[in-house]
Structure 1
Amino acid sequence: MIPGLMIAAPASGTGKTTVMLGLLRALRDDGLAVQPFKSGPDYIDPAFHRAASGRASFNLDSWAMSGTMLDGLAAQSNDADFVLAEGSMGLFDGVAKPGASGNGASADIARRMGWPVVLVVDVSGQAQSAAATALGFARYDPNLPIAGVILNRVASPRHERLARSGMAAVGIHVFGALPRRGDLKLPERHLGLVQASEHADLETRIADYATFLREHVDLAAIRAAASAVPRAESEPHSFRPPAQRIALAQDAAFSFAYPHMLAGWRSAGAEILPFSPLADEAPAPHADLVWLPGGYPELHAGRLSEARTFHAALAEHARTRPVHGECGGYMALGEALIDADGTRHRMAGLLGLVTSYEKRRMHLGYRRATLLAPMAGVIAGSDLRGHEFHYSTILDQPDQPLAEVTDAEGTLVAESGSYRGRVSGTFFHLIAHGR
């Protein structure tokens, strides 16, 4: 039996990631092997979880993933002592129409896995009234237990007393109260948190979070509140690899690869061969496939435009074997990328795509795609599920559309991806695929 909890919140921006990282490290320091998970399609937070816990963190997404796939990923915790999952947005926030096994809400995952919820409640600007919010969450779904709350951004001892009295009046347990501290906020950029690999002081930050949580939260009560669930009977998830030897771009410009994808490829026997386009490295010449994940090519467009060894090796590979790019990787395969200052940078030129950040426009949401042509080892007609999140605008996309793509409600979207010969790209990040 493995005890587990979900750390969630009534809304985004409440500080749950800081709480999650502090708890992961504090419990690890207490000698527990803690398995982290992230609800939803976030590809940045899992790297922070890994830094805090020492274990790979995996996304669990009820819209994109089948129940079988979710159970297989949950089996990654079979050798752990404790499970902590981090929710996304508000606990019950999801899309209007269900997907593979749910609507994408964190509540779907907590309910399926049997994990009680600890709500992180931002009490700034209110006191006893915060209890009304917590009570509403506790009563919203009788099948999902709310174990209690952690009060965040508490202004003073008096503020804490008032907030606690409100929670006591409605029978909501308080695990702790975190004083307001501006220095505990992780820096962000346009797609969320600045990546874990970019923080030179990340270890110091996480240790500070753990100390802060230990001082203000009852860790013994947190552990006692966890629900012990049987170890998963499913085999750890194996994601069908698109090739046997996969050259994977991995650096500050290309880092948005879902951990469950890479672990699934390896589990199925694929060999992953990392290389850095920013360092002007060529992908391994014996690779069967080159895969460029998403990231921040717009922040490194000048260096990428000068990466001539990388460009030449990509072109040579594409003569006989497939190349695929997701979002930022797709843009890097195109003809040009125009940065926020309006400067045009030449990209690999294997596709005709031209994108611009000069006039930012957010594209966000789940995507379901039916392939119109083969894509990096996946056959035409395959059903893919993923997520799109970027601010780039398409100025030109002259190649053939790769897929028919809809959003979570079934509405067609313009970002169809494209292909030319053996080179393909999509704006969505692949999470799961069916047939």
Structure 2
Amino acid sequence: MTARGFIVAADRSGAGKTSIAIGLMRAFARTGLAVRGAKSGPDYIDPGYHRAATGHAGVNLDSWAMDPAFIDRLAGRQAAEADLVIVESAMGLFDGIPAAKGRTGAAADLARRLRLPVLLVHDVSGHSQTAAAIVRGLAAHDAGVRIGGVVLNKAGSARHEALARDAIERIGIPVLGALRRDPGLTLPERHLGLVQAGEHAALDAFIERLADAVENALDLAAVKAMAAPLAPAAGSAASALPPPGRRIALARDAAFSFVYPHMLEHWRDEGAEIVPFSPLADEGPDPSCDICWLPGGYPELHAGRLAAAANFRDRLAAFARTSPVHGECGGFMALGEALVDGAGVAHRMAGLLGHTTSFAARRINLGYRQARLAADCPLGRAGATINGHEFHYSRLVESSGDAPLADLFDGEGRPLGPAGARRGHVTGAFFHAIARG
């Protein structure tokens, strides 16, 4: 196949790009095209919607955490079996961190590197002709980033749409469609972003409504014509995290679901077997596995069920006596002594590490992180650097003095101090790993 692609972006978060991207994926898939999705930056949730819309796994493309060769490899794999690849931007088109050009984490880095045009979603709910000034600024900001067309979102009336459309088209940028205000097309949210695709009631019917709205409001032929060939260099997976074992027991349910598709794909490519189990169903890791991985997710929403899962705790403790157990963010919380939920009620956790976390005393922690490992662990050897991020509201309220897992730095290299914990075969941290640094 010869794939083409484009990036769905906006000037800010909340403009409606996720709904429009998902609607476009399903609308084009309904025409018989092989469609694949991708997401810029560190986001676990949107790739799940991309899978639901296209029937195929999405991928994250993160220009800060991943080196350019890894991005080329992942983008090329999405393109290999696709007619069309739709990349959804995080936040605003140029939103990243101060870093070397092309390594800021912004979707603009991907537009530049992969030579993909941008379909700009612009929320006009608070203005009309001023939209042209905003679009002009975005179009002129970086010569290497091309705005291929604009979609107006949340137009209030035909006249409102015409005012914004005419002003934008006078500056030479085509408007390829406009959607009216419709709360029924809004995806539900919670504290870490959208409600996960697997928890959305009647998800397929909802995606069908999005696709209907997009088909009715956008010129799909013009959007398809705007797309550019996607043929990145062969790339390399040299910076991918190697599988931490040959048989990996992976916690997988509504409480533990934050696993990047590119990590599981690479582990399988390297011959590892993923053996899922559900702590919420009171299941424990298969004792024949050689490592247990507890990913992030929403344990704070299921703390009572986890506290009642005695078989899970017993089997996890037995596994940890002889084999590594690693927890990321929500998994790290579950490995501690207790978790205090949003109502202030403390719930017993696995007790394999000595900390207590609280969602009641919550405080947002958000940003790119680089971890320098203090000891050998499932993430790598002592002294290795791992690129990733933090995004959590829960925080440590008690710690028993377990040894730290890593020294942590923010995305600009500023030290944040020791982080995480290790005790025996058990390790964990709020830090989510993406790739080797």
**Coarse TM-score class (shorter-chain normalised):** over 0.9
Q: 1:211 to 1:140 in 2, by over 3 A?
A: same
Partner residue in 2 for 1:56? 57
User: RMSD of aligned C-alpha atoms?
Assistant: 1.4
- Asked if 1:278 is matched to 2:288, the reply is no
* Deviation of 1:98 (Å): 3.7
**Counterpart selection for 2:420 from 414, 417, 420:** 417
Q: Which residue identity is paired with 2:306?
A: L
* Structure 1 residues 15-68: Cα deviation after superposition (integer angstroms, max 9, x where no partner): 000000000000000001111110000111000000001111000001000111
CA distance in 1: counterparts of 2:224 and 2:15, whole angstroms: 22
Q: What residue is the counterpart of 1:323 in the other structure?
A: 325
Q: SS where residue 19 of structure 1 aligns?
A: helix
SS at match of 1:381: coil
SS at match of 1:17: helix
The whole-number CA distance in structure 2 between the counterparts of 1:382 and 1:239 is: 11
Check the 8 A contact 2:70/2:236 in 1, yes or no. Answer: no
1:176-209 Cα shifts (integer Å, max 9, x gaps): 0101101111110000000000012110100000
Aligned to 2:196: 195
Query: Residue 400 of structure 1: SS of its match in structure 2?
Result: coil
Aligned to 1:225: 226
Cα distance in 1, alignment partners of residues 418 and 211 from structure 2: 42
1:415 Cα offset (Å): 6.3
Q: Is the 8 A contact 2:9 2:120 kept in 1?
A: yes
Query: CA–CA distance in 1 between the matches of 2:131 and 2:10?
Result: 12
Cα distance in 1, alignment partners of residues 104 and 68 from structure 2 = 12
Counterpart of 2:372 (choices 350, 370, 379) is 370
Residue equivalent to 1:148: 149
**What per-residue deviation string (whole Å, max 9, x for no partner) do you get for residues 322-363 of structure 1?**
000000000000011111111111100000011111121000
Q: SS of the counterpart of 1:413?
A: strand
- Tell whether the 8 Å contact from 2:10 to 2:89 is kept in structure 1 after alignment: yes
- Distance (whole Å) between structure 2 residues aligned to residue 227 and residue 217 of structure 1: 18
**How far has the Cα of 1:11 moved from its partner?**
0.2
Q: Deviations over 1:383-417 (max 9, x none)?
A: 10111000012112220011000111222225611
* 3-state SS in 2 of match to 1:401: coil
Match of 1:249 among 225, 248, 251: 251
Q: Displacement, 1:234?
A: 3.8
Whichever residue aligns with residue 37 of structure 2, its letter is: P
Q: Is residue 75–residue 236 contact of structure 1 (8 Å, CA) maintained in 2?
A: no
**For residue 35 of structure 2, what is the aligned residue in structure 1?**
34
The separation in 2 between residues aligned to 1:342 and 1:207, in whole angstroms, is 40
CA distance in 2, matches of 1:70, 1:314: 35
Following TM superposition, by how much is the alpha carbon of 1:239 offset from its aligned partner in structure 2, in angstroms? 4.4
Judged with a 3 Å threshold, the aligned counterparts in structure 2 of structure 1 residues 340 and 88 are, in CA distance, closer, same or farther, namely same
**For residue 405 of structure 2, what is the aligned residue in structure 1?**
402
SS of the equivalent of 2:281 reads coil
Measured in 2, the distance between the counterparts of 1:428 and 1:235 equals 24
413-422 vs 54-63, greater mean Cα deviation: 413-422
Task: Report the counterpart of residue 428 of structure 1 in structure 2.
Answer: 431
Write the letter of the residue equivalent to 1:142: A
Letter of the structure 1 residue corresponding to residue 406 of structure 2: A
Q: Higher mean Cα deviation, 407-416 or 69-78?
A: 407-416
Contact 2:241–2:434 (CA under 8 A) maintained in structure 1:
no
Letter in 2 for 1:70: I
- What does the per-residue CA deviation read over 1:259-289, in whole Å, with 9 as the maximum and x for residues that have no partner? 1111111111100000000000011110100
Q: Amino acid of the residue matched to residue 105 of structure 1?
A: A
User: Amino acid of the residue matched to residue 184 of structure 2?
Assistant: D
2:22 alignment partner in structure 1 = 21
Conservation of the 8 A alpha-carbon contact between 2:405 and 2:418: no
2:271 pairs, out of 269, 272, 281, with 269
Instruction: Determine which of 351, 362, 373 is the counterpart of 1:349.
Output: 351
Show structure 2 runs of 5+ residues with no match: none
Q: TM-score with structure 2 length normalisation?
A: 0.97
| 1:229 positional shift | 3.2
Amino acid at match of 1:349: G
Match in the other structure for 1:125: 126
Whether the aligned pair in 1 keeps the contact of 2:406 and 2:418 (CA below 8 Å) is no
CA deviation after TM superposition for structure 1 residue 377, in Å:
5.9
Shift of residue 131, structure 1, vs aligned partner: 0.8
The answer to whether the Cα contact below 8 Å between 2:76 and 2:231 also exists between their aligned partners in 1 is: no
What is the SS of the residue equivalent to 1:341?
A: coil
> Could you say if the C-alpha distance between residues 196 and 229 of structure 1 is closer, same or farther in structure 2, counting changes exceeding 3 Å?
closer
Structure 1, unaligned runs of 5 or more? none
Corresponding residue SS for 1:70: helix
Which position in structure 2 is the counterpart of 1:179?
A: 180
User: What is the distance in 1 between the residues matched to 2:302 and 2:159?
Assistant: 49
Aligned equivalents of 1:83 and 1:280: distance in 2?
A: 39
Whole-Å separation in 2 of the counterparts to 1:37 and 1:199:
20
- Separation in 1, partners of 2:114, 2:318: 47
SS in structure 1 of the partner of residue 249 of structure 2: strand
* 1:377–1:41 Cα change, 3 Å: closer
Q: Which amino acid aligns with 2:435?
A: A
* 1:63/1:98 contact within 8 Å kept: no
Taking a change above 3 Å as real, the CA distance of residues 405 and 60 of structure 1, as seen in their structure-2 partners, is same
Per-residue deviation at 1:136?
A: 0.5
Moved more, 267-276 or 69-78: 69-78
Counterpart of 1:46, as a letter, is P
- Counterpart code for 2:160: H
Deviations 1:89-118 (A, max 9, x none): 00001012349x501001001111111001
Q: Which moved more, 1:23-32 or 1:228-237?
A: 228-237
More deviation in 64-73 or 413-422? 413-422
The whole-number CA distance in structure 2 between the counterparts of 1:141 and 1:321 is 50
Contact 1:298 1:339 in 2 (8 A): yes
What is the alpha-carbon distance in structure 2 between the residues aligned to residue 221 and residue 110 of structure 1? 19
- Contact 1:58-1:73 at 8 Å conserved across structures: yes
